[in-house]
Structure 1
Amino acid sequence: MSFGFSVGDFLIQLATKIRKGFVEAPVQFKSISDDDNDGRSPLYASARIGCEKVARLLLKQGLSAHPKDEKGHTPLFEAAGYGHLNLVQLFLDWDLDINPEDIELNVSLIITTHYSKETIIQFLLDRGADPNNLSGRDLTPLMWASLYGLTSVVQLMLKCGAEWEIKDSQGRTALSCAAARGSTEVIQILLQNGADIKTDYYGFSVFSNAVSHDEYANLTTLLSANKITNRITNIHQPDRYGRTPLHVAAAGGHLQSCLTLLDTGSVELEIKNIYGQTALSCVAACPNPELILLLLENGADINTEDNHGRGVIFYAASENRHSNLTAIFTSTKIRNIHRPDRYGRTPLHVAAARGHLQSVFTLLKIDGVDCEAQDEFGRTALSEAILRKRFDVVELLTTFSKTTPEVLICPVVEPSSFSFCDICGVGKLKGETFYHCDTCCGADFDMCQVCYHIGARGLDRSHELELWPRYTHL
């Protein structure tokens, strides 16, 4: 059964009456054990609004002090999260049989840490809450406090026995959390307490954690600390995917973080990840032409190519970064703007197939463009645009093309994901079957059925491709 009214409104009215003296004797409720639509008893609302008298009335009527709603939350969570110490104490004292090591106490501590309720944090710790429990989405209270830059809470946790070296399921520590989104003060506190600058299970370092969110102030603090302790001899060490901190910063388009890394004087610009991409390849797909120019000024190779033979122009065209294309064209060192990849596809092919009108127009203005160029499957940029019903691109290309291919125009539904065919670059549709290779590109090679049926295969044609009936993370 569910309430036909708002539990919160009802209890607020009741609390008002109690405060005004209208309700003195215990109130007899009808269906007091009924839950609302979220599986919450009236006790949750009293915990949220902080009315101890209402909570006591409800408990005297026989309601459990520790029920759980559909999400596993209890009134204790509500009281702790909203900072009502008197209710936290009431719920714990009402049921003295509760195990001090119960997960409820630990999760309540995590919730309270998130809201920085230090008095309640200390109270829960005194009542037996474990500061090293990983029940809060795989993070300890210290990790949560570090993540949100709660300096005083971090100090309290460390004082009460919180361990900085505990790792979550991905190998991240409190220092990893602080580097990603915390504060320089928290980082310094953790380092002063012996926190080690280590990588996670994927080889992702605290430096990469900092630049992934463009926390360049945190990055500076970590670099300074490492310079003194020399705990990590190579701050640009790649992770298991071949990504250096510069790769991560570049892929996010984080200019300040890239500047901070470049200022170390030890950055190697031509390190490639497992896909054969350098930092310049990564930034070419981001909307930040200033960062492209910065890397070029520092010596990045404009002619770099990935495992598919695709250069920075291909990446910019595939994501419609026409401002990046203009910035790249200012470099006089670029050898072949329209260079095809290993499948014979040019930047014009991918821009046309994905319907990027402005990038198509920018490429067409560059000397040497060949609108009739065919990939190894006989497809031109125009035939791709017609096939995928990119009518504005078709109109533009027709004025530059000598012939108009007779290709069946079929309706195209725009992709609903960020997953693309590694051959043609077109996004896969939700629920669409596709071919996958467990060997190429670190088991991250997918191909649409269109490309497969015209003869496309993996980077090594001997690799067996598996037809996947669904793409589960779309």
Structure 2
Amino acid sequence: MSRVYKAAQTNDENFFRFDNGADTYLSYAHEKSGDSVLHIASRYGHLNLVSLFLEKGVSPEIVNLDGKRPLHEAAQNGQIDIVKYLLDYGAIVDCLKRADWTPLMLACTKNGPEVIRALLQKGADLALRNKDGWNSFHIAAREGSVEILQLLLHHDDQLWNTVSKNGRTPLHTAALHGCTDVVRFLVGSCDYPCDVVDSCGTTPLMDALRAGHVDTAQVLVDLHKADVQKEDKLGRQPVHLVSEAGELEALDFLLDTFHLSVDTRTTSTHCTPLHVAAKEGQDAIVGHLLRRGADVHLLDTSLRSALHIASGGQHAGCVELLLKHGAGDSQDKHGQTARHMARKDGVKQVFRKYLDHIT
């Protein structure tokens, strides 16, 4: 760490007032981040240094290598006194860093409503979006603060009605991150359609379940009447997505609470949960499905069993589980057997071990 960086970080005002360098620090830029002394002082909340550097002529709009300005640093780190000082000094309230993030967006990543209020009072634009199409409401939904969401809606009661570039709503975002209180708030306060989908046909319930957030999923079912058999654009239901993701608790939640079939098919390829779990090498899910009675012999539209899928993916553990539970080999529509799809030695060894069980 350079002497200049350390002095700015530790609020060593004497270093900057009496250093023999005669103000050479004013042009300092950290070699990796490009941070100026004003960035550093703003990040750590040293108002006396911020004031000194501005008096010495450091621009409040100086940027580092990430495109951040001192206001970005202060807002992201909850330095309310610095935020107010920079804004009063004339810092641009909606300045953009790389990926088009504003200070307000960064402030929404923290539970710091006072910073958000200060930015809004200076006219921060709530509707601005970053490169992914997220506005401040999206970001706050991900972070899980109902207080901040309420504050943003107080300034714009239609702010919830937004989607990212891939069609995802703030409700999707909150569900995926398991922000149960936020999901409850959004469902109760905003007019999201039941089972609103993104560009892939994914619903908030699907997001919650594939991330293992069963409590969040329960809220969506109870309060938003989410459909546990809704299909995405590939014809997959939540039971397929949780099997693919390896979420055992979510799988049992669906099977036990809603009495879904363990052999539920996708509409596009007729894959079962066993197929999709085998494709991803989810040994624990494959074993669990088999213990729950999954049919090891079912074929998809390519005439492939879960054994084909597991072998093609070179997942030795899944192959062994399937063979132990009576999986037999057969030709798919291209004439390939599961055994012939094995490429790795470990998978080949499993087939040799159970060769007598393969017809």
Cα distance in 1, alignment partners of residues 345 and 338 from structure 2: 12
For residues 268-315 of structure 1, give each alpha carbon's deviation from its aligned partner in whole angstroms, at most 9, with x where no partner exists: 233322222222111111232221122233254542215333221111
After TM superposition, list the pairs within 5 Å mapping 1:13-28 onto structure 2.
none
Q: Does the 8 Å contact 2:270/2:299 carry over to 1?
A: yes
Partner of 2:46: 84
Q: Secondary structure of 1:285's match?
A: helix
User: Residues 203 and 125 of structure 1: is their aligned pair in 2 closer, same or farther, counting only changes over 3 Å?
Assistant: same
Q: Is residue 2:70 matched to residue 1:119?
A: no
User: Residues 298 and 363 of structure 1: is their aligned pair in 2 closer, same or farther, counting only changes over 3 Å?
Assistant: same
Ranges in structure 1 where 5+ consecutive residues have no aligned partner:
1-5, 9-42, 403-474
The AA in structure 1 aligned to 2:180 is: Y
Partner of 2:169: 205
Comparing 53-62 and 150-159, the one that deviates more: 53-62
Displacement after TM superposition at 1:103 (Å): 5.0
Cα distance in 2, alignment partners of residues 260 and 53 from structure 1: 56
Cα distance in 2, alignment partners of residues 235 and 161 from structure 1: 34
Q: Does the 8 Å contact 1:178/1:187 carry over to 2?
A: yes
Partner of 2:232: 273
Q: Is residue 2:144 matched to residue 1:187?
A: no
The AA in structure 2 aligned to 1:352 is: S
Q: Does the 8 Å contact 1:303/1:312 carry over to 2?
A: yes
The structure with the largest alpha-carbon Rg is 1
Q: Secondary structure of 2:266's match?
A: coil
After TM superposition, list the pairs within 5 Å mapping 1:135-150 onto structure 2.
135=97, 137-150=99-112
Ranges in structure 2 where 5+ consecutive residues have no aligned partner:
none
User: Residues 364 and 60 of structure 1: is their aligned pair in 2 closer, same or farther, counting only changes over 3 Å?
Assistant: closer
For residues 442-463 of structure 1, give each alpha carbon's deviation from its aligned partner in whole angstroms, at most 9, with x where no partner exists: xxxxxxxxxxxxxxxxxxxxxx
Displacement after TM superposition at 1:137 (Å): 4.1
Displacement after TM superposition at 1:217 (Å): 1.5
Match of 2:339 among 382, 385, 388: 382
Cα distance in 1, alignment partners of residues 29 and 297 from structure 2: 62
Displacement after TM superposition at 1:392 (Å): 4.5
Q: Does the 8 Å contact 1:147/1:182 carry over to 2?
A: no
Displacement after TM superposition at 1:213 (Å): 1.0
Partner of 2:2: 7
Q: Does the 8 Å contact 1:171/1:201 carry over to 2?
A: yes
The AA in structure 2 aligned to 1:212 is: L
User: Residues 254 and 393 of structure 1: is their aligned pair in 2 closer, same or farther, counting only changes over 3 Å?
Assistant: farther
Cα distance in 1, alignment partners of residues 264 and 311 from structure 2: 22
Partner of 2:241: 282
Q: Secondary structure of 1:65's match?
A: helix
The AA in structure 2 aligned to 1:155 is: R
After TM superposition, list the pairs within 5 Å mapping 1:290-309 onto structure 2.
290-296=249-255, 297-298=257-258, 300=260, 302-305=263-266, 307-309=268-270
Q: Is residue 2:113 matched to residue 1:154?
A: no
Match of 1:314 among 258, 272, 275: 275
Displacement after TM superposition at 1:132 (Å): 1.9
Cα distance in 1, alignment partners of residues 259 and 149 from structure 2: 32
Match of 2:180 among 198, 212, 216: 216
Partner of 1:178: 140
Displacement after TM superposition at 1:326 (Å): 4.3
After TM superposition, list the pairs within 5 Å mapping 1:306-345 onto structure 2.
307-329=268-290, 336-345=295-304
Q: Does the 8 Å contact 1:171/1:200 carry over to 2?
A: yes
Cα distance in 2, alignment partners of residues 106 and 395 from structure 1: 59
Cα distance in 2, alignment partners of residues 377 and 351 from structure 1: 17
User: Residues 66 and 221 of structure 1: is their aligned pair in 2 closer, same or farther, counting only changes over 3 Å?
Assistant: farther
Instruction: Calculate the TM-score normalised by the size of structure 1.
Output: 0.67
Taking only the aligned residue pairs, the percentage that are identical comes to 25
Tell me the matched-pair count: 351
Partner of 2:357: 400
For residues 38-67 of structure 1, give each alpha carbon's deviation from its aligned partner in whole angstroms, at most 9, with x where no partner exists: xxxxx3332122211112234852515144
Q: Does the 8 Å contact 1:207/1:235 carry over to 2?
A: no
Q: Does the 8 Å contact 2:35/2:63 carry over to 1?
A: no
For residues 253-278 of structure 1, give each alpha carbon's deviation from its aligned partner in whole angstroms, at most 9, with x where no partner exists: 22122111111252223332222222
Partner of 2:328: 370
Match of 1:352 among 296, 301, 311: 311
User: Residues 127 and 59 of structure 1: is their aligned pair in 2 closer, same or farther, counting only changes over 3 Å?
Assistant: farther
Instruction: Calculate the TM-score normalised by the size of structure 2.
Output: 0.87
Displacement after TM superposition at 1:209 (Å): 0.6
Q: Secondary structure of 2:178's match?
A: coil
